[in-house]
Amino acid sequence: MKHLPQINLFYWALIISANTMGETAGDLISQTFNLGYGGGTIALITLFLIALIISICSNSQKPLLYWMVVTLASTAGTTISDFISRSFFHLELGFTENEGYTFGTILLTAALLFIFGIWKYHSKTNTIENGLNKRTEFLYWIAILTSSTLGTAFGDLLAHNTPLGFEGGTLLLLLLLSVVVGLVYLTKISRELLYWSAIILTHPIGATMGDYLTKPEGMNLGNINASLLLVVVFIVVIATGQLTKNRQFN
């Protein structure tokens, strides 16, 4: 059985950093590198599946591999979401781009609920706390990929279909995330339910933050500069977490 990395402040900081980096890197691959949403999705899904197979075949949880799969899931989720919302619903079916975000969000919510249903059918225990076998680890990563895709679609929905925009959408999602954190400390609600609630919220947070960094409506850094900045932030968070961990054992 494999256990997740210790779920603490640094874990969630890395999750948000990876999701934000995934948003900008996904746009970098599909837009700046001109692979398109379809080509970018194929390339990133291939890399994700390779990393997923390596992770499942590994006998122990390796932190570097874990965060690599998280980042690839977030990056692939960005291009998949854009392909569903913009290419499929908008360009192929003729809906408006804003309607594409709405239909994409509904479709991906249903897909995520379906995956959770399969997971609960195969595992009656709290696998987040008790560990993952090979089957539940596979379902865990598919749920992470799907929630990443949903997060991008929902983040776009908030930013484009509501008056909140990128900045307001991010603030609202951070507020909702703080409510989930409060429930962890103040209630006895299932920790697995709260974990996935937080995971689902961190993906659109990363999507809206990434768009705020890259788009003209935000800081207008562009995909390349924003991606480089977020790689540095990701490394700093990892280094800070490792230094803190080392000091605790000294």
Mean pLDDT of the chain: 86
What percent of the chain is modeled with pLDDT above 70? 94
Q: Is the pLDDT of residue 183 over 70?
A: yes
Over residues 72-98, mean pLDDT: 92
Q: Is the pLDDT of residue 122 over 90?
A: no
pLDDT tens for 5-17 read: 888 888 888 898 8
Q: What CA–CA distance (Å, rounded) separates 169 from 146?
A: 20
Residue 50 to residues 47, 62, 218: CA-CA distances in angstroms?
Answer: 5, 15, 35
Q: Is the pLDDT of residue 248 over 50?
A: no
pLDDT tens for 124-168 read: 666 677 788 888 899 999 999 999 999 888 888 988 888 887 778
Output the pLDDT for position 102.
94
90 residue type, one letter = H
Residue closest to 37 by CA, chosen among 69, 85, 70: 85
- Given a contact cutoff of 8 angstroms between Cβ atoms, the answer to whether 148 and 200 are in contact is no
Output the pLDDT for position 127.
67
Over residues 188-199, mean pLDDT: 89
Domain ranges of the chain: 9-248
pLDDT tens for 200-240 read: 899 888 877 887 888 887 788 888 888 888 888 888 877 77
243 pLDDT tier (thresholds 50, 70, 90): low
Output the pLDDT for position 245.
60
- Full DSSP string of the chain: -B-PPP-SHHHHHHHHHHHHHHHHHHHIIIIIT--HHHHHHHHHHHHHHHHHHHHHH-SS--HHHHHHHHHHHHHHHHHHHHIIIIIIIIIIT---HHHHHHHHHHHHHHHHHHHHHHHHHH--S-HHHH-B-HHHHHHHHHHHHHHHHHHHHHHHHHHHHSTTHHHHHHHHHHHHHHHHHHHHHH----HHHHHHHHHHHHHHHHHHHHHHHHSTTTT--HHHHHHHHHHHHHHHHHHHHHHHHHHHT-
Output the pLDDT for position 250.
43
Q: What CA–CA distance (Å, rounded) separates 161 from 164?
A: 8
Output the pLDDT for position 176.
92
Output the pLDDT for position 44.
93
54-58, 82-86, 217-221, 246-250: which range is least confident on average? 246-250
Q: What CA–CA distance (Å, rounded) separates 159 from 166?
A: 5
Q: What CA–CA distance (Å, rounded) separates 30 from 26?
A: 6
